[in-house]
């Protein structure tokens, strides 16, 4: 039986304290009641990026991918691939910690479940695609790349993302919503039950916790020859002195991300070949893509926006060669439940490909409203004329 992994993105796996993940009051992420009572600091990591940060940090265990968020994707794959002899295996990991280390855990799991005769496939969202690439590189280095048949990445920042920059600029919608929900629920608990209210949670409070997570730094934009042309100020993101002191960023994590991790991303061994990799991205949403003012770093005005992205990952970052590419008109959080993707995801996993570069035309029908593009990678700002709209049959490429 072949295995198809579902690997979530950042914030996409349960984290809980204690030894029993079935006890709901031990779940910290995501449990709004616990967060409203002031437990978000329990997710903070020590400067080494591994241990809990005293005095409030807690030792966290990893649970499953968030079922309310990834359940539809997993059940769709089970329905479509199960009759063909596949088992779907949701893979949770600690999305706070160094990505390569989580890739080691995934590679170890693959060694247990896959064989050359029954290689696995991986469907990974956002940061999960980088975990999959890490696992791939580990298997390549050990001569075990034949254990993986297909990797499909959904909104993965292969060339990094400005999403952490927006978080540290106090301008990430999810952080603001979480702070609002924690305070509203905390007030409700205090008002209805007479409990001493939890301390007020501000976006800055939450932001300082994210600044302890090594994986957040590893999601920062890639520095390479292309970025030197299109985003020349990008290296300034990795200079601690450019950031407001109250964000409490880590010079160690900034340095490690800009050197060791980015060297890994630029290493050809970390990129699966065309017969293995499918990259999927979203577009048409306002997305941060360029640093334009170092002096204002920490304020959203420092970042230029583009519509060629999914709100968190630009199209040129989510679509890379070698590989096949698919583009949807949707946002980063919506892509895994986008109807056209769900109807075509099994086809992406099952498609047979010979080694070599991707073709210039589709080899499989992924229509039903899916907007697709095959061929060279997309660089810079992309307009709608780049795509084939399968619903209308119009092509202006």
Determine, yes or no, domain membership for 7: yes
Determine, yes or no, domain membership for 123: yes
CATH code at 31? Answer: 3.40.50.1820
pLDDT at 397: 21
Query: How far apart (Å, rounded) are the C-alpha atoms in residues 281 and 287?
Result: 12
Query: How far apart (Å, rounded) are the C-alpha atoms in residues 247 and 263?
Result: 26
pLDDT at 365: 31
Answer whether residue 337 shows pLDDT above 60: yes
Could you list the residue range(s) of the whole structural domain that residue 115 is in?
Answer: 2-159+268-285+306-395
Question: Are β-strands 2-7 and 120-125 bridged in parallel, bridged antiparallel, or unpaired?
Answer: parallel
Question: pTM for this structure?
Answer: 0.86
Determine, yes or no, domain membership for 381: yes
pLDDT interval class at 364 (50, 70, 90): very low
Residue 233 near residue 291, CB atoms below 8 Å: yes
Q: How many domains does the chain have?
A: 1
Query: When comparing pLDDT for 205 and 391, which is higher?
Result: 205
For residues 362-378, average pLDDT: 33
Query: Which two three-digit tokens encode residue 1?
Result: 């039986």
Query: How far apart (Å, rounded) are the C-alpha atoms in residues 4 and 390?
Result: 27
pLDDT digits (tens, 9 = 90+) for 236-288: 999 999 999 999 999 999 999 999 999 999 988 889 998 999 999 999 999 99
Q: What is the mean pLDDT of the chain?
A: 84
Residue 126 near residue 12, CB atoms below 8 Å: yes
Determine, yes or no, domain membership for 65: yes
Determine, yes or no, domain membership for 256: no
Determine, yes or no, domain membership for 260: no
Answer whether residue 135 shows pLDDT above 60: yes
By residue count, the chain amounts to 397
pLDDT digits (tens, 9 = 90+) for 147-184: 999 999 999 999 999 999 999 999 877 776 676 666 66
Locate tokens 């080494």: which residue?
A: 48
- Angstrom distances, CA of residue 106 to CA of 5, 14, 124, 359: 9, 16, 12, 30
pLDDT digits (tens, 9 = 90+) for 200-243: 667 788 899 999 999 999 999 999 988 999 999 999 999 999 99
Across 23-32, 167-176, 186-195, the highest mean pLDDT is recorded for: 167-176
pLDDT interval class at 329 (50, 70, 90): very high
pLDDT at 320: 84
Residue 41 near residue 204, CB atoms below 8 Å: no
For residues 41-59, average pLDDT: 93
Locate tokens 């696995």: which residue?
A: 120
Query: When comparing pLDDT for 359 and 386, which is higher?
Result: 359
Question: Within 13 A of 251's CA, how many CA atoms are on the CB side?
Answer: 5
Determine, yes or no, domain membership for 352: yes
Determine, yes or no, domain membership for 383: yes
């Amino acid at each position: 039986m072949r295995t198809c992994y579902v690997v979530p993105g950042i914030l996409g796996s349960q984290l809980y304290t204690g030894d029993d993940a079935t006890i709901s009051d031990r779940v910290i992420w995501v449990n709004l009641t616990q967060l409203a009572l002031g437990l978000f600091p329990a997710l903070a990591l020590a400067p080494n990026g591994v241990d809990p940060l005293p005095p409030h940090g807690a030792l966290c265990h990893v649970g499953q991918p968030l079922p309310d968020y990834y359940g539809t994707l997993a059940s769709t794959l089970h329905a479509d691939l199960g009759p063909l002899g596949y088992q779907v295996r949701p893979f949770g990991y600690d999305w706070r910690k160094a990505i390569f280390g989580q890739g080691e855990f995934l590679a170890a799991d693959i060694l247990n479940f896959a064989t050359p005769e029954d290689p696995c496939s991986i469907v990974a969202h956002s940061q999960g695609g980088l975990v999959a690439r890490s696992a791939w590189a580990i298997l390549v280095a050990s001569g075990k790349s034949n254990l993986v048949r297909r990797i499909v990445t959904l909104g993965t920042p292969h060339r990094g993302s400005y999403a952490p920059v927006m978080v540290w600029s106090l301008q990430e919608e999810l952080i603001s919503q979480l702070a609002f929900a924690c305070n509203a629920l905390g007030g409700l608990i205090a008002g209805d039950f007479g409990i001493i209210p939890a301390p007020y949670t501000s976006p800055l409070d939450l932001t300082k916790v994210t600044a302890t997570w090594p994986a957040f730094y590893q999601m920062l934009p890639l520095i390479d020859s292309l970025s030197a042309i299109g985003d020349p100020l990008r290296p300034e993101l990795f200079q601690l002195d450019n950031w407001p002191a109250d964000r409490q960023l880590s010079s160690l994590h900034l340095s490690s991300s800009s050197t060791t991790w980015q060297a890994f991303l630029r290493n050809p061994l970390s990129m699966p070949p065309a017969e293995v990799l499918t990259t999927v991205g979203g577009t048409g949403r306002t997305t941060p893509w360029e640093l334009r003012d170092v002096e204002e770093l920490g304020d959203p005005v420092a970042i230029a926006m583009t519509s060629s992205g999914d709100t968190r990952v630009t199209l040129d970052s989510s679509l890379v060669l070698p590989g096949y590419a698919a583009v949807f008109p949707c946002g980063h959080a919506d892509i895994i439940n986008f109807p056209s993707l769900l109807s075509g995801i099994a086809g992406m996993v099952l498609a047979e490909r010979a080694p070599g570069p991707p073709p210039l035309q589709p080899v499989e029908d992924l229509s039903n409203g899916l907007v697709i593009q095959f061929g060279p990678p997309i660089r810079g700002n992309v307009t709608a004329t780049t795509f084939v709209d399968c619903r209308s049959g119009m092509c202006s490429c």
